[in-house]
Structure formats: C-alpha cells, structure tokens
A and B are shown apart, each in its own frame.
Chain A
Amino acid sequence: MKVTVEQQPKSSVILDIVADDDEFKQAVNRAFRRVNELVNVPGFRPGKAPRQLVEQRVGRDLIVQEAHREVMDDLYRRALEQEDIVPVSDPEVDVYQDEPVGFKVTIQVYPKVDLGDYSTISVEPREVNATEEEVEDVIQNLRKQQSTWVEPDEPRAPVEGDQVILDFEVYEGDEEFHEPVVGADFVLGEGPLFKQIEEAVKFLQPGADAEFDINFDEDDEEVPEQIRGKTLHYKVKLQEVKSRELPEVDEEFLKSINEEYSTIEDLREAIRKDLLQNKVQQSRDEFLDEAFEKFAELASLEVPDGLVDRELEREYQQLGERLGQQGMSMDEYLRMTQKTESDIQSEMRPDVANRVRNSLVLEAFGEAEGVEVTDEDINAEIETMVGDNEQAEQMKELYQSDYFKNMLRSQLENRKITEHLIEHVSGGVGAITGEGKALLDEQSSSAIAESTEVEGSSDDDSSENADADSDEEQAAEAESAGDGDDEAEQKPGE
C-alpha cells in the first residue's frame, strides 16, 4: 500500500491510496472465487467453473470491482491509521486506477488547532447594573398584568391600552377564511391583533360594526406567512370597550405576587436580583462569544463542515427526544411548524457551527494552558451534587460508573477551562463588573457555604430555596407579560 497525503483548506485532506500488486492479485483471486459461487455455468457445479469461462460470462470488470469492494475498505482504514488521521466526515472516494486499485479519498479531519500567540487577546468585561427605571418597568408590567377592566362612564371609542371585545368574520373573496370569532377580548397595542384592525377599531363606538379590506404585503414580517400578499375582507363588530384600572402598589398587590412580600422594597429587591441574574447570564455569554471570536480569528480556525454536520445530527436528535418527552413526535412538530427537516437543520446550523468552533478553541486553550481535571475534582463534584440527599450513598454509587464519571469529567473540564479563559482575557477581572459582579460573588460564596455545611437542619434550607424559586418565576412572568406576546391568545387571521 502506498499512501500520499495532500492537505486541503477547511481542514480536509486528500489521501491517495494505491494497493500493492501482490496484495491486489490475491484480492482478485479471492473475488473470483466468491463470484464463481454465484455464477451459473451449464455443465459445472457452482464454484467449479474454470476462470476463463467465468470471465467470459460475467466480464473481468465485475470480478475486479468485487476485489475493489473488498480491498478498499481495508486499505482506507489502514491508511488512516498509518497517517494518524481522524476523519469527521464520510469519505468522498474517486477511483482512478483499476489494477491494482488506486483511489483518492477526500475527507475532513479533526482540525489541529494552533491558537497562535493568544496572550494579547483581551476582552472588555461587561458592566452589569440594574437601574431604577428597569425595576420600575417590571413593576408597571406586573400592574398591567393584574389590572382590572371597567366600563368607562361615557361610552366612547377605544384608545390604546383599552380592552375591546370583538366579533369578527374574515373572508378571502367570497370564501370564509376561518371560523368567525365571537366575543374575543384584546388589549389594544398589547394584544396579537393586526395593526390594521386596531386602527379600524379605534374609529368605532361600542355596538357599531365596520367592514374593510386589508392588503397584506408580500414581505410583511408581522403577519403569518400564509396571509402575506393576500387581501382579506373583515367584518368587525365592537361589542364593548373597557378601560384599564391599574392596581395600586399596596399590601394586597404585594401579597398577590408573593405571600412573603410585605413592603415594596421586598418586591424591588427580588425584581432587581432577577434582572441582574438574567443580565449577568446574557453578558457572560456575550463576553465569551467575543473571546471565542477573537481566538478563532487569531488561530484562523476553519471549522470543518463534517464536524458541524455530526453535531447538527446529534442536536437534531436531541430536539426529537425533547419533543418526545412532551408527547410530540418529530413528524407532528414538522407539520405544526410547516417546516422540513432540512429547514430546521439549516436554522440550527449557524449556532451549532459556533458552538463547535467554541469547543475547538476551548479544547486547544485548555491544552495550551495545561488545565486538567483530577479525580479529586470529580469526587468533590460528586459530593456537592449528592449533598445531604437521603439516598446519598446510592447516588454516589451511581455516579461511580465510568459513564457518569466521563460525563462529569468533560463537564468539569469545560467549566474549568472556561473560567480560566475568562480570567485570561479579562486580565483577572472576570467577565462581569458592576452590581452583577456582587451578585455573582454572593452566589458563589453562598454555594460554597452550602456545600461545606454538611450537617445542620436541612429543612430550613429547602424551604428557603423553594421561595427563591417562586420569586424568580414571578419576575419571569412579569417579564414575558411585558413582551406583550401571549401566545395562548387567539390570533386573528390564523
């Protein structure tokens, strides 16, 4: 076997493999014997016909092809081993010579990342603060969410922020476009109603109705795809108009959010923490992204498509599994979103490619800096994970398996290298400054306190934890309400 390797861009290589004469002849002989068993020559039992006759009958090519099949797989494997190449894509094979077989294989290989002189890379830490206005916004949203609707003293046309109760029918030409909607309530400016409808409704007195056409532009991103470029005819009847009454920020309001809150300051503090938490997460991601970007640029790292393909395949399967847990099959999901498998994969692709790139950088950085995870680290992590759970011993047992240990190791490695990388590019400052940093410090110190506190009354702890969780949920709800995107509500025109 003769192998020559030719490096190609995008971390792919072309292997030129030629079999030795002798080894190939033997392969052809073996191939002949196999073919002979299958060929029917009158006057001969299967496998007993003379070679000349068989070749005349089936053609020499077929026998040579059969020999190729047998020998190429083996040659390819040996070539990979000999040249120490780890492929990450399916090989593209081009046979250019028959006897002895010679072929070129194009494959993408696991890239060898040379980070270059990364000591100069630095990333500006992100300052994370939560302003009073932001806190105030969340409170406003909470109030809006809990607002009550009252009839105005005088009947009047609705304005922005009013609740309207509508009946409507939609036609495309003479055809009904969808089922008529009766008595649906919307908040103007905050609901899912199309702007065109809202504008029309603002001219109506309660009890009045109107008919109008709406032309939806081909490229109107705000409406669902199936109505873009269509003209729909609407018949709308305004039943009622109600104006909003915001609840006062009083004790009752506080209690309705969380039983624990007795003063406005409690609420503010909880919201503030939550805001910071979200922002810290986001800023840290941005910070890391920038860092990876810079590293990749310096290393002029090109991520092989094959590697991305593999990861994409894996994540697509994971998506399927997650859907399965929600009781939905992939096919149903595709029908619901009206997408194809390749649509979804091409949507996922940029993100996945980024992640692959990042993990390549991280791996190379970890190696260059000699970051290692020891068995002690892993055991310590297991201790923390198990904590003072009742089934601590059993859980520990479970975590002792190689599978878990390997998983933990790679997780820990990732975390450790990431921390190290943040240290490095921020000049030891860390990814986050400002109020967010204080929050981070507080959390990590309390985490340590928690893990060192092995004995003690765990009851108190857990109840506190539960409360903290519900705080977060409340604030998260408040935020999603602020987006004004309540998907549960019906969207006209769909």
Chain B
Amino acid sequence: MQHQDVLRRPVITEKNTRLMEQGQYMFEVARDANKIQIKDAIERTFDVSVRKVNVINVRGKQRRRARRQGRTASTGWTPSWKKAIVSLQEGDTIDLFGDFY
C-alpha cells in the first residue's frame, strides 16, 4: 500500500480541536492500514515526527428507513471506518485548517 492511500481525511470536531492543543491529531485512515503505515504516511505528508499512533475501529451505526405504512422498516448500516489518533513529537504541529485539501 502506498503511503498516499493510508490517510483519508482529518477529522475536525470540537473534541479534536482540544486534542490538537496537546499535539494529537485525528484522521480517518484506510481500514487495512496498520499503525506503522499510518506513522509513515503522516511523517511523509506533513514533515513531522510521530511519537505514537492509536487506532480505533468505528463500527457503522444501524439506520432504519421507514417504508410505507404497514410494511416492515428496512434496516441498513452506515459504513464502518478506522480512525487513528496520532501523537506528534513535542513542538511539531500540523495545520489542519489550512487549504491543502
């Protein structure tokens, strides 16, 4: 797997902006990427050194869609994905608000 394929997008939320303050950044990553590949990809893309990578598999959520009256609702799933929280070496930063996308 090429390193360009590992990172999908940064996850920017209220919670994650607080993590950023302590040098931790959250990304959605390819489901089959491992911590080593993620570390490699981050270091190459943003020119920083990574101290630690935590990964979590996020299970998709069940979604029901209502049908016409009297019929059973059909159920589906939102996609599952993998997220990675990347801790950088002290002093390194990534500007996720920039216009690089």
Q: A residues touching B (Cβ–Cβ < 8 Å)? A: 42-45, 48-50, 52-53, 56
Q: Which of chain A's residues has its CB closest to B20's CB?
A: A50
B69 CB within 8 Å of chain A: no
B99 / chain A contacts, CB cutoff of 8 Å: 56
Interface residues of B, count at CB 8 A: 8
Q: Which of B9-17, B44-52, B54-62 is found at the contact surface with chain A?
A: B9-17
B17 / chain A contacts, CB cutoff of 8 Å: 50
Provide the bound-state CA to CA distance between A49 and B13, in Å: 8
Q: Mark B82-101, 1 if CB is under 8 A from A, else 0.
A: 00000000000000010100
Contact B14 A44 (CB under 8 A): yes
Provide the bound-state CA to CA distance between A52 and B96, in Å: 10
A44 / chain B contacts, CB cutoff of 8 Å: 13-14
Q: Mark B63-74, 1 if CB is under 8 A from A, else 0.
A: 000000000000
Contact A53 B12 (CB under 8 A): yes
Contact B14 A43 (CB under 8 A): yes
B13 / chain A contacts, CB cutoff of 8 Å: 42-44
Provide the bound-state CA to CA distance between A44 and B97, in Å: 14
Contact B97 A53 (CB under 8 A): yes
Provide the bound-state CA to CA distance between A49 and B15, in Å: 10
Contact A52 B14 (CB under 8 A): no
For the complex formed, measure the closest distance between the CB of B27 and the CB atoms of chain A, giving whole angstroms. Answer: 14
B 1-36 contacts with A by CB, 8 A: 11-14, 16-17
B14 / chain A contacts, CB cutoff of 8 Å: 43-45, 48-49
Provide the bound-state CA to CA distance between A48 and B13, in Å: 10
For the complex formed, measure the closest distance between the CB of B76 and the CB atoms of chain A, giving whole angstroms. Answer: 21
Can you sample 12 A-B contacts with CB below 8 Å? A42-B13, A43-B11, A43-B16, A44-B13, A48-B14, A49-B14, A50-B17, A50-B97, A52-B97, A53-B12, A53-B97, A56-B97
Provide the bound-state CA to CA distance between A42 and B12, in Å: 8
For the complex formed, measure the closest distance between the CB of A426 and the CB atoms of chain B, giving whole angstroms. Answer: 82
Q: Which of chain A's residues has its CB closest to B15's CB?
A: A43
Provide the bound-state CA to CA distance between A42 and B10, in Å: 13
A45 / chain B contacts, CB cutoff of 8 Å: 14
Provide the bound-state CA to CA distance between A53 and B13, in Å: 11
For the complex formed, measure the closest distance between the CB of A56 and the CB atoms of chain B, giving whole angstroms. Answer: 7
For the complex formed, measure the closest distance between the CB of B24 and the CB atoms of chain A, giving whole angstroms. Answer: 16
A52 / chain B contacts, CB cutoff of 8 Å: 97
6 new A-B pairs (CB below 8 Å) besides A42-B13, A43-B16, A52-B97? Answer: A43-B12, A43-B13, A45-B14, A49-B14, A50-B97, A53-B97
Q: Which of chain B's residues has its CB closest to A51's CB?
A: B97
B12 / chain A contacts, CB cutoff of 8 Å: 43, 53
A50 / chain B contacts, CB cutoff of 8 Å: 17, 97
A43 / chain B contacts, CB cutoff of 8 Å: 11-14, 16
For the complex formed, measure the closest distance between the CB of A49 and the CB atoms of chain B, giving whole angstroms. Answer: 8
Q: Which of chain A's residues has its CB closest to B13's CB?
A: A43
For the complex formed, measure the closest distance between the CB of A46 and the CB atoms of chain B, giving whole angstroms. Answer: 11
Provide the bound-state CA to CA distance between A53 and B97, in Å: 6
Provide the bound-state CA to CA distance between A223 and B13, in Å: 80
Provide the bound-state CA to CA distance between A44 and B17, in Å: 10
Provide the bound-state CA to CA distance between A379 and B12, in Å: 78
For the complex formed, measure the closest distance between the CB of A440 and the CB atoms of chain B, giving whole angstroms. Answer: 86
Provide the bound-state CA to CA distance between A49 and B18, in Å: 11
For the complex formed, measure the closest distance between the CB of B18 and the CB atoms of chain A, giving whole angstroms. Answer: 10
Q: Which of chain B's residues has its CB closest to A43's CB?
A: B13
For the complex formed, measure the closest distance between the CB of A53 and the CB atoms of chain B, giving whole angstroms. Answer: 6
Provide the bound-state CA to CA distance between A42 and B17, in Å: 13
For the complex formed, measure the closest distance between the CB of A447 and the CB atoms of chain B, giving whole angstroms. Answer: 83
B97 / chain A contacts, CB cutoff of 8 Å: 50, 52-53, 56
Provide the bound-state CA to CA distance between A43 and B19, in Å: 14
Provide the bound-state CA to CA distance between A321 and B97, in Å: 63
Provide the bound-state CA to CA distance between A52 and B99, in Å: 11
A49 / chain B contacts, CB cutoff of 8 Å: 14
Provide the bound-state CA to CA distance between A50 and B15, in Å: 11
Provide the bound-state CA to CA distance between A173 and B48, in Å: 96
